Each structure stands twice: as structure tokens, then as C-alpha cells.
Amino acid sequence: MRIGHINVKVMDMAAALQHYEKVLGMKTVHTDADGNAYLKCWDEWDKYSLILTETDQAGLNHVAYKVEKETDLDELQQRIEASGTATEMLPEGTMPFTGRLLKFNLPSGHEMRLYATKECVGTDVGSTNPDPWPDDIKGAGVHWLDHCLLMCELNPAAGINKVAESTDFMMNVLDFNMAERVMVGPNGDIPAATWLFRTSTPHDIAFVGGERMGLHHFAFFLNDWSAILKSADVMAKNKVKIDVAPTRHGITRGETIYFFDPSGNRNETFAGLGYMAQPDRPVITWTEDQLWRGIFFHSGEESGSFTTAYT
């Protein structure tokens, strides 16, 4: 149905909590016996969407997507294993407040989990005669975890294209749809990046080619351009390292800021529907010569290490 949560590694839990609570406006809802912190945005109704795990390096542990019914997990397990990918069904309670989890690795190597059940606690404004926002919002006041972008190994000369393999898996096995893609190479026939969706927004997950697999960023939704500018002010006040100042994407048409948490994990605040993504919408293709216009529509120019720095 949608992205459910992301589990990222941080090197300083206290600094990470300060960042995600004070800058982004999330709330810590649980800390488990291993010290993992579970956080929630104000406009989410499930128990949590972000898990922080303290380690000696940054990066991704796993990303999880929510399915509609428990029986979907059994059906999807059969489909995934039939595709040649090994799975493991983790029992209820493996993660707090969550039912069974179907665990597997994407062709890119990233760990993904699917689940159907997580404790529903409601949004911070409730479901009866709600206000448009709660009174105790902090920082940028992000609404919800929106999407993630995963870096995949891409080396056409060696015959390696994990972008294409992961895209095919998501579309053919998990029934994702493609909204946009970047095609490169002498004949313009090598997929270097794809944006895929299950909801009605331009992407719930994206894959981009690089030297190695990793986490490029995970993004939180804001309403509009003014909210994006406010989030930039919040970051400046808190001396957050901003990677890309407020701008617009050509790809997805989203309004954006990219910045880093204290461990170096790239975050994004992302605003605007962009367009309505539907399965019958024609796929948008960006050519190699217009790549940077697609990424940063205003300047059309490469921004530092945007495609090479990731965890």
C-alpha cells in the first residue's frame, strides 16, 4: 500500500534524536531493550515510521512497506520465492507493535520487509472534528515519511545494472508502477534511474545507479513551497548541514531541500503532489543530456557530490 517505516543506522543516538525531534518535528514513541528509538510524524496514524539504531556507521538497515492484509504476506512470499529470491517470515513481535514481517533482499542487496499489521494510534489531531495541525509542532513539522531513494550498483561495461534488476523485481513481483526513468548510454537504452509508485504520488521508492549500493536519502512530506522555506529556516537556526538549498525537481516536479542528519544520512523535505500517478499514466523519460535539469530544474546543473555521496 505505502512505505511503512525505515530503519537507519546512526553513530550518536542523542544527536540523532535531537535532529529528528527538534529539526523535523518527530516524536519518540518507544525505546526498546536494545536501545533502538522509534519515532512518528504528527500526521501518521501507525505507531512509528522511523527506527534509529546506534552503530559505528551510518546507512540503511532495512525499509518496510505495508500491505493491506495478512494473507497478502503469504501470497507475496510465494511470488518472491518463485522469482528466485529467498525470504524469511519473521513472527509477530519480532518488531515492537508489529505483526509478521516478510523479510528479503532486493536484487540491489538492500533489505526490505513487508508487513500488514502495526498498532494504529491515530494522528496527533485525531479523527473526529480534527484541527488542520496540532498546537505542539516543533521544527519543520513534517507530516509523514514519504519515500526513499536507494543507490544500486551500475557498471554497464561489466554487465552490471542493479537499477534495472531491482526495477523489474518491484514491478513484476510486487506490482509497483513506473512514473519516471532516466535512460543513458550511446543508444539511450540503459536505465540509470527509476521512480516507482504504489500510491498516487510520483514515487514511493526510487533507484539510482552508482558505484555501490547504499542509501541516498529518505524523505518527509510537507504541504507546499512556504513550508519548504520554513524548514530551511529551521535547519539554518539549528546549523544543520544543507546539501541542496530549496529548489524544484524536474523529475516528480517536487519542491525540495536535501540535508544531512548528524551521522551523515541524507534527508529530504519534499512538498507538492507533483502530479497524480496512476497505472495508466505514460512513463516520463529523461535523456542523459537533460539529466541535471531533471534533478534540479532551476539550475540544470550538477550540485557537488549529490550523486556520489551517500551512506
- Tell me which residues are annotated as active site: 147, 203, 217, 249, 258, 268
Cα 27 to chain centroid, rounded: 19
Q: Count of CB atoms within 10 A of residue 71's CB?
A: 10
Are the CB atoms for 154 and 161 separated by under 8 Å?
Answer: yes
Cross-strand pairs, 220: 145, 269
Grid cell listed for 106: 532486493
> Taking the alpha carbons of 284, 290, 292, 298 in that order, is the dihedral positive or negative?
negative
| Residue 68 to residues 1, 12, 72, 239, 251, Cα–Cα distance (Å) | 6, 35, 7, 40, 29
Are the CB atoms for 288 and 188 separated by under 8 Å?
Answer: yes
Calculate Rg over the CA atoms of the chain: 19
212: left (phi over 0), alpha (psi -120 to 50) or beta: beta
Cross-strand pairs, 242: 259
Alpha-carbon gap, residue 203 to 274, rounded angstroms: 10
Alpha-carbon gap, residue 87 to 65, rounded angstroms: 15
The SS3 call for residue 158 is helix
DSSP H or E stretch at residue 80: helix 70-82
Give the residue carrying C-alpha cell 551500475: 154
DSSP code for 253: T
